[in-house]
């Protein structure tokens, strides 16, 4: 064996005790990042298989750390008493080696397996040399976790002969997450550096790695080692991911319907309900509902089953300025109606006048009037009337609801000014349907104007029709 790697120098032997004493004092104040992170007593995952120990195909000096390069680095590929080594050419107290970086371990772990641990074995020798960095290499990059042993005498790189030290093991992932492809990569490996004191030196005879793995049990419906959850499937979006880990808090976990809002994960495997959609568009002329697929639907179709009258009139004017706009709808000699059928507009019952046109009864305009104890008043026991000269609600200034037991019920809606809903009056095509609806019940009042009932039409300024 090369004398550089044995204790054949008497002066070094005599100075070793002094070296160790000075080393303890130096280490207390050094800024070297050395972490004793070998797993002791770690629980090994059940049913683990292993591949290795494998030796590297490439061992090189990496100058990204330290000052003293490794000589003959490829000698550390296999155990053959041929060494990669570093030493000091001058008497110095502390010198750090550069990285000895080993990659290309030739693993062939099948896809679909879960990496459970990585063990590295370092066969080494030396005098007054100690671990400084023992780090995994993933994707060619040197990792952050340092598994160097503490620099006390039991862990000295001490010859003659080689000592084998083990780092990591089954259950130790070196602070990383792994796939079989990461391990099988030619740039997977390990990087080692050491430091020496009092002209010490170190040599590495071989580096080997063993990888522990097991079949991926995620999706079997029971929580196995390394899993936070297992819901019996490999689907994402249900708060237990395809890798059987909890999805983060706030991750969407949508169900089959949009109507109950946006569900999100709580970070502990549970899907919290969302806030149900409020599909009310505050327009009585639309039928509000929710589609599980598309969400809110505000259908402006005309309703069925409304009461009719023997005589109806509709007048609309859209002039400039809008202060001259006008609306009149009369429903006369209508079907018998009691006061109860009108709801209670002096309370909470709302009313709306809805104008539809064409065979599809497309909604062109809606005029909503809220319940109001001040603007609505009862007409004895027959009905109600509404008065608001300012037309603050959709431009409506007057509403009359008058019941009758002899098919002489009457409804009237008038409006004017800038608050009236503007629309293109030329869209009023045969047939024109006008409905007065309320929020209290299904009672509604309807007029239908056919082409023969049109008096003024096709004019963007005014429309007039009379049915009887």
- 269, part of any domain: no
Task: Report cis status (omega within 30 of 0) of the bond before 160.
Answer: yes
Are residue 35 and residue 171 in the same domain, yes or no?
yes
The predicted pLDDT at position 378 comes to: 98
Are residue 320 and residue 209 in the same domain, yes or no?
no
Residue 27's Cα: distance from chain center in Å?
46
250: region left, alpha or beta (phi > 0 left; psi from -120 to 50 alpha): left
CB neighbours of residue 334 within 10 Å? 23
Quote the number of domains for the chain.
2
Are residue 211 and residue 317 in the same domain, yes or no?
no
Are residue 188 and residue 336 in the same domain, yes or no?
no
Q: What span, in angstroms and rounded, lies between the C-alpha atoms of 167 and 161?
A: 20
- 249, part of any domain: no
Q: Are 350 and 438 in contact (CB under 8 A)?
A: yes
Its domain, for residue 447, covers 309-467
- 258, part of any domain: no
Q: Are 344 and 440 in contact (CB under 8 A)?
A: yes
Are residue 188 and residue 318 in the same domain, yes or no?
no
Q: What values do phi and psi take at 363, rounded to 5?
A: -75, 120
Are residue 202 and residue 69 in the same domain, yes or no?
yes
Question: Which of residues 146, 181, 215 is at a domain's end?
Answer: 215
Are residue 199 and residue 60 in the same domain, yes or no?
yes
Question: Which of residues 215, 239, 261 is at a domain's end?
Answer: 215
- 101, part of any domain: yes
Output the pTM of the full model: 0.56
- 402, part of any domain: yes
Print pLDDT tens along the chain (468 aa). Answer: 444 444 444 444 444 444 444 443 433 333 333 322 333 233 344 467 999 999 999 999 999 999 999 999 999 999 999 999 998 655 567 889 999 999 999 999 999 888 999 999 999 999 889 999 999 999 999 999 999 998 877 788 987 789 999 999 999 999 999 999 999 999 999 999 999 888 788 999 999 999 999 888 889 999 987 789 999 998 999 999 998 999 999 999 999 899 999 999 999 999 999 999 999 999 999 999 999 999 999 999 999 999 999 999 999 999 999 999 999 999 999 999 999 999 999 999 999 999 999 999 999 999 999 999 999 999 999 999 999 999 999 999 999 999 999 999 999 999 999 999 999 999 999 999 999 999 999 999 999 999 999 999 999 999 999 999
In a 10 Å sphere around its CB, with 0-12 CB exposed, 13-18 middle and 19+ buried, how is residue 443 labelled?
Answer: middle
Are residue 70 and residue 207 in the same domain, yes or no?
yes
The predicted pLDDT at position 161 comes to: 84
- 367, part of any domain: yes
Q: Are 385 and 376 in contact (CB under 8 A)?
A: yes
- 29, part of any domain: yes
Q: Report which of 274, 270, 301, 304 is spatially closest to residue 285, judged by C-alpha positions.
A: 301
Q: Are 253 and 238 in contact (CB under 8 A)?
A: yes
Cβ-count burial 273-299 (b if 16+ within 10 Å, e if not):
ebeeeeeeeebbbbeeebeeeeeeeee
The predicted pLDDT at position 225 comes to: 75
Question: Which of residues 176, 198, 215 is at a domain's end?
Answer: 215
Count, residues in the chain: 468
- 237, part of any domain: no
């Amino acid at each position: 064996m090369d004398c550089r790697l044995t204790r054949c120098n008497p002066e070094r032997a005599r100075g070793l005790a002094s070296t160790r004493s000075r080393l303890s004092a130096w280490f207390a104040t050094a800024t070297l990042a050395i972490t004793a992170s070998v797993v002791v007593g770690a629980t090994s995952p059940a049913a683990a298989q292993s591949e290795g120990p494998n030796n590297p195909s490439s061992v090189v000096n990496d100058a990204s750390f330290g000052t003293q390069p490794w000589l003959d680095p490829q000698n550390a590929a296999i155990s053959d008493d041929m060494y990669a080594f570093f030493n000091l050419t001058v008497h110095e107290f502390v010198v750090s080696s550069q990285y000895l970086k080993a990659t290309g371990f030739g693993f062939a772990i099948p896809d679909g397996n879960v990496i459970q641990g990585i063990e590295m074995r370092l066969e080494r020798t030396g005098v007054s040399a100690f671990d400084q960095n023992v780090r995994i290499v993933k994707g060619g990059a040197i990792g952050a976790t340092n598994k160097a042993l503490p620099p006390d005498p039991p862990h000295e790189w001490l010859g003659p002969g080689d000592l084998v030290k083990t780092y990591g093991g089954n259950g130790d992932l070196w602070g990383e997450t792994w796939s079989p492809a990461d391990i099988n990569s030619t740039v997977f490996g390990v990087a080692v550096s050491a430091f020496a004191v009092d002209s010490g030196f170190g040599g590495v005879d071989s580096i080997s790695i063993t990888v522990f793995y097991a079949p991926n049990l995620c999706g079997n419906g029971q929580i196995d080692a390394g899993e936070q959850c297992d819901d019996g499937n490999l689907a994402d979006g249900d708060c237990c991911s395809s890798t059987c880990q909890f999805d983060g808090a706030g991750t969407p976990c949508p169900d089959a319907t949009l109507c109950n809002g946006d569900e999100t994960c709580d970070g502990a495997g549970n899907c919290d309900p969302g806030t149900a959609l409020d599909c009310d568009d505050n327009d009585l002329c639309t039928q509000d509902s929710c589609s599980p697929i598309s969400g809110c639907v505000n259908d402006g179709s005309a309703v069925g089953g409304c009461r009719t009258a023997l005589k109806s009139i509709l007048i609309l004017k859209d002039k400039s300025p809008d202060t001259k706009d006008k609306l009149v709808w009369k429903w006369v000699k209508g079907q018998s109606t009691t006061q109860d059928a009108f709801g209670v507009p002096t309370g909470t019952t709302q009313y709306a006048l809805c104008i539809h046109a064409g065979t599809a009864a497309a909604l062109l305009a809606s005029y909503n009037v809220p319940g109001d104890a001040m603007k609505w008043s009862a007409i004895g026991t027959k009905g109600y009337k509404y008065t608001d000269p300012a037309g603050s609600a959709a431009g409506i200034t007057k509403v009359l609801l008058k019941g009758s037991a002899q098919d002489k019920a009457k409804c009237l809606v008038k409006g004017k000014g800038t608050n009236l809903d503007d629309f293109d009056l030329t869209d009023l095509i045969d047939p024109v349907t006008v409905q007065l609806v309320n929020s209290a019940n299904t009672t509604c009042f309807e007029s239908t104007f056919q082409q023969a009932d049109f008096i003024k039409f096709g004019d963007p300024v005014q429309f007039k029709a009379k049915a009887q």
